[in-house]
Chain A
Amino acid sequence: MTLVNRLPGRLWRMAVGCSLIVAGLPCLGQESTPNLADATLEQLGNIKVYTASKHLQVTKDAPSSVTVITADEIHKHGYRTLADALKTVRGFYVTYDRNYSSVGVRGFARPGDFNTRVLLLVDGHRLNDNIYDEAMIGSEFPIDIDLIERIEIIRGPVSSLYGSNALFAVINIMTRHGRDLKGLELSANAGSFNTYEGRASYGGRLQNLEYMISGSFYGGRGHNELFFPAFNTPETNSGIASHNDDDQVGSSLATVSFKDFTFQAAYGTREKGIPTGAYGVLFNNPGTRTTDAHGYVDLRYQHTFADSWDILARAFYDRYTYQGTYIYPSSLNPAELSPDFDYADGKWWGAELQLTKTIFHRNRVTVGGEYRDNFKQDQSNYQINPYMLAMDERRSSYVGALYLQDELTITKTLSLNAGFRYDYYDHFDSSLDPRAALIYRPRSQTAFKFIYGEAFRVPNVYELYYSIAPNLPNPKLHPEKIRNLEWVWEQGVHKNIAISATAFREEMEGLITTRVVPPDMEIFENLQNAESIGGETEITGQLPRGLEAGASYSFQQTKDTRTGQFLSNSPRHLAKFSLTQPLVGKKLFASLDVQYRSGMRSLGGLAISGYTVVNATLLGRNLGKHLDISASIYNLFDKSYLDPPSSANLQMPVQQDGRSFRIKLTWHPGER
C-alpha cells in the first residue's frame, strides 16, 4: 500500500516500539474465561465485573472508526460544553477565538470557516445552519450539555448517508429520555469569571407517552481584563480589553414521544461580547458583540411494518438568526461612533424518509430520500452614522437526495457495508458519493476495517455572497470534494482493554479556503488541493478497582499538494489522556484529563506554540441520595497558551483561559 510507504520511518519505529511494550503486558496471551453458567443467581450478583469497553463493543461492528462519549463521562470529567468533550476525542482539536469555537479533525481546520466540514446532528436532526453551515460546539451550541445521553463521533466522510458537510466527521448527539429523569431535576453551577448557570428539567413516562422538558440559563461576565499586545498603545487602553468578554445563553428543549411518534422542539440563543478588536473595530468597546439563535421543531415517526420493514419518516422546520454589532468610528467624525449591523436570517424546512429491510437473510438494505428547502438565506449589513446599506443579499436554494446502503454479511467473519448517495442542487452540480467498508472479524475481539469513502460540501451563501470588508464575494465557488482511504484495526485485550490503530489518507480537491488579497482583503476560493496522511492509536481500559483510563495519540501531515507546504491551523501531533478513579465506593469519583497539541502555523504565518493542558474534576454522586456535587479545575497548571486567530484578525493569536474553577450541584429527587 502506498500509504504505508509514505509514513515517515520514525513513526513506524515508534509504532513498533509501542506495540512491543503492549506485548510485554502481563497475561495478554492467556485466556482465562471462567464459565459462569453453573453459578446461582446470587453468585452472579456477587461477582465484581469490569465493564467490557462499551466503546469497543459498540464500535467493532460499525463501518467506521467511532468514538462514543456518554453522559456518565460528561459528568465525571466536568465538561462544560460540547467543545470540552470534543477536545478529548482522538484526532480532534478545538480552537477558540473568544467568540466561536472551531473543531479541527485530522489536521483540517480552515481559518475563518465555521466548522463547515463536520456535520452535527441532534437526535438525527441536522444542526448546521443554512447561512454559514456552522456546527456550533461552544456555548453557542443550543442544547444544554446536561441533556446529552450520548455523543457518537463517526470519523471519515459519510456523505453517502448524510450529504453535504459530512467530510471529516459526523457528530450525533442523543438527548436524554423522559423515563431517565423520573420527575424533576434541578442543576446550578458557578465558576470563574463570574459565570453562573441554572437548569430545570422535568420528565417521565405514562404508558405510551414519554416527555422531557428543560430550560437553561447561562451567564458569564468573562475576563474583566484581557491583554492584546497588538493593541498596546495609549490610544487603545494599552492593549487591555476590559469587561468585553461576556457570554449569555438561554436554551430550552422539549421532547415528547407517543407510540411511534417523537416530537422535539429546541431553541437556543447566545450573545457574546467580542474583546479581540476583530474586523478592525474600535478596541475596548463593549458594544461589539454577536447574537446567534437557532430553533427547530422536528417530528419523527418510526415503525416496523409486517415484521420486516423498518420505516423512519421525519419532517422539520428550522430557523437560524445572527446579529452582529460592530462598533467603528464614524467616517464623518472620528470622535463619533458608527455601529455596523450585520444580519443573517435563515429558514428551512425539509423531510426525510428511510426504509430498511433485510433480504435473503444476508442483506440489510437501507433506502432513503431527503428534501431540504432553504427558502430563506438572507444576509444584510448597514451602518448608521452615516446610514449606509452595504449589503442586502436575499437567497434561497433547495436540495433533494436519494441514498442506498447495504450491509451484506458475506461469511460469519466478513461483512461489507456499501452505499452511495446522490444529491441534486438547484445551484450546483449534483454530487454522487460512494462509500464502502469491508469488515473482517476473525475473532470476536478483533476487527479489521478497510474503508473507502467520498464526500462533498457545497459552498454556503456566506462564502458565495458575503461582501463586507475584509470579505470579497465569490459567486463562482464550486463544491469541494474529499476522498478518504482508511484502515482500522480494533482489538479487545482481555475484554477490559481496547486498542485501536488507524491509518488514513485524505485527499481534498478544490478545498474552499481564504486567500488574502493584498493589502488586507480576503476571498474564499477553491484554492487548494490538499492531502492529509496520518495515523491514530488509542487504548482504553477499565481495571478491577474501577479505574478507567484512556490514552490516544494521533499524527497527521496535512499539505497543500501543489506547493508541498503544510496547511495552516494544522498541528502534527495530538495526544490525550484521561483517567477516572472511583473513591469511597460509588459515591466519589476523581477524574483527570490531559490534552496535548503540538505547535502549528496560523494563516497569517504566525507560529503558534504547542501546549499541554490538564483538567481535574471531583464528583460526588447521590450524596444524601439525591444530590450530585462536582468541583472542577480547568487548566490546573495555569498554562498560558494561544490559539490561532480566525480570519477576523490575522495578526493576533488569541490568549486562552488560565486556571479556572467550577462548582456544580444537581438535585434529582426522582428515583433513578
Chain B
Amino acid sequence: MSCQTPSRASPAATTIMLLLWVLASVPGFCQAASEEQVKAAYLYSFAKFIEWPSRSFQSASSPFHFCVVNNRSFQAELDRTVKGKSVAGRAIEVASVLDTEQSRSCHLLFVDASQERQSRPLLRALQGATILIVGETRNFIDGGGTIGFLMEDEHVYFEINQREATLAGLYVSSRLLSVAKRVIQ
C-alpha cells in the first residue's frame, strides 16, 4: 500500500489506513449539522428574542452588531447564517473583535472556548454594558456571562443568567427563558 512506512507494514500505516477506512465507510456523515452552524443559528435567535434598548443604537437605521472574539472561522459561519437577515428591521453586521475597546460597539458578543483566558477580564470590563455576552465554556453564566451554550448528548442547549441580562439593560422574552435549560434569576 502507498501508506506504508519505509520499513515493512508498520502499525503506523495500519492505524492510518484503519482510520481512513472508518471514515470512508460510515454512511451519511455529511448530513448532520456542525456545532458551529447550530450555535450561529442560536445567536441569531437570541437577537430575535431579546430586546435591546434604543439607546444602544446610534439611530433608527443603525445596524445590529454581531461580534466574535478573535475567531475568524466562526465569524465566517455567522456571516453565512445571517446573510440577508435582519434584527428588528435593522441590517446586520458581523465582526471579529480583538479587545474590550473594540467590543464596546457590539450588541451581541460571542466568546468561544479558545478565548477562555481572556474572558475573565473581558466580562469584568463589560459588566453593565448593553451587550449580550454569549460563551461556550462550562458554567459560563456562573462566571458573569449572560448566555452559555452547553453540549449534551450531541445536542446544543443554552442557559441564561437573567440577572446579568437585566443589569445590561436587556429584556429577555419569556419564550427564550422557557427553552433555556437553566435560568439564574
Contact = CB atoms under 8 A, between A and B. Distances in A.
Contacts of A60: 73
Contacts of A24: 24
9 contacts: A26-B24, A36-B38, A50-B32, A180-B138, A303-B121, A304-B124, A553-B15, A573-B10, A577-B15
Which 9 A-B pairs give the minimum distances between C-beta atoms?
A17-B2, A575-B12, A577-B15, A36-B41, A495-B34, A444-B73, A308-B101, A444-B76, A27-B30
Interface in B104-154: 104, 112-114, 118, 120-122, 124-125, 138-139, 142-143, 151-154
Interface of B: 1-7, 10-13, 15-20, 22-24, 26, 28-38, 40-42, 44-45, 49, 70-77, 80-83, 85, 98-102, 104, 112-114, 118, 120-122, 124-125, 138-139, 142-143, 151-157, 175-176, 179
Contacts of A179: 138-139, 142-143
Contacts of B124: 259-260, 303-304
B48 to A, nearest CB: 9
A61 interface: yes
Interface in A345-372: 356-358, 361, 364
A521 interface: no
Contacts of B102: 358, 361
A44 B36 contact: no
Contacts of B142: 179, 205
Interface of A: 8, 10-11, 13-14, 16-18, 20-22, 24-27, 30, 32-37, 39-42, 44-52, 54, 57-58, 60-61, 177, 179-180, 205, 210, 259-260, 302-304, 307-308, 310, 356-358, 361, 364, 412, 441, 444-445, 492, 494-497, 539, 541, 543-547, 549-551, 553, 555, 573-577, 585-586, 594, 596, 598, 610, 612
B7 A51 contact: no
Nearest to A540: B19
B118 to A, nearest CB: 8
B23 A497 contact: yes
Nearest to B102: A358
Contacts of B76: 444
B16 A308 contact: no
* Chain A, interface SS category: mixed
Contact of B73 (A21, A41, A57, A575): A57
B121 A260 contact: yes
Interface centre among B70, B82, B99 (most CB of A within 10 A): B99
A24 B33 CA distance: 22
A576 B10 CA distance: 12
Contact of B99 (A36, A46, A364): A364
A25 B45 contact: no
Nearest to B82: A37
Contacts of A612: 11
A33 B102 CA distance: 30
Contacts of A36: 33, 37-38, 40-41, 81
Contacts of A555: 5
A17 B34 contact: no
Contact of B22 (A27, A33, A41, A549): A549
